[in-house]
Amino acid sequence: MKKIIIVLFLISLGFIFLGEDEEILIPGEAIRFRVIANSNTLEDQTEKLAIKEQVEEEIYKLINGAGNVKDVRNIIENNMDTIHDIVNSYGVSYQISYGNNYFPSKTYKGVLYPAGNYESLVITLGKGAGNNFWCVLFPPLCLLENSNADVSDIDYQLYVKKLLDEF
């Protein structure tokens, strides 16, 4: 019973602080990350996810502790060879673009990521005709979004709001 009361209290706080009509928008200085698969075959989608996970893991090692977008930008720019090496190890054709790239609209757990051109690292595999993965590298929203934790929409929104307030 005590757990139910606590959960209801946290949900209530979420509605109070976030409001049902309030949208959380990612700041303009965020850095996004996108991997576009060659096609939607199981093989190409599996390859996309493997590359995404390896690149993402390496980037987080590199940017861990970076306090601002300028530091993260410099780290990514100075480590493009490492990112190329990771993708090269899969033996597929690819293109990497770091700069201003187009992203489709996405809503995830009540957080709106509007379509537009954003500073980003985009890896396009082969023809780039398959489904894509994307998230926000900085502030580091990819970490929670891709965790195996069972996170409610309100927990996610509270986390995103708190993280964005910090940066």
Residue pLDDT tens, the chain, 167 long: 555 444 444 454 454 444 444 556 666 788 999 999 999 999 999 999 999 999 999 998 998 888 789 999 999 999 999 999 999 999 999 999 999 999 888 876 677 788 899 999 999 999 999 999 988 888 877 754 444 444 444 454 555 555 556 55
- How much is the pLDDT for 67? 79
Question: CA of 78: how far to CAs of 21, 73, 103, in Å?
Answer: 41, 9, 24
- d(CA 115, CA 158) in angstroms, rounded, equals 22
What are 117's strand-pairing partners?
102
Contact 137, 35 (CB under 8 A): no
Give the list of residues 6+ apart from residue 129 with CB closer than 8 angstroms, or none.
Answer: 37, 38, 39, 40
Kindly report the pTM of this predicted structure.
Answer: 0.73
The DSSP result for 37-89, as a single string, is -S-SSHHHHHHHHHHHHHHHHHHHHHHTT--SHHHHHHHHHHTHHHHHHHHHT
Sign of dihedral through CA atoms 131, 145, 87, 79?
A: positive
- How much is the pLDDT for 7? 40
- How much is the pLDDT for 106? 82
- How much is the pLDDT for 161? 55
132: left (phi over 0), alpha (psi -120 to 50) or beta: beta
For tokens 């005590």, name the residue.
Answer: 2
- How much is the pLDDT for 76? 96
- Map out the domains of the chain as residue ranges: 31-146
- How much is the pLDDT for 53? 93
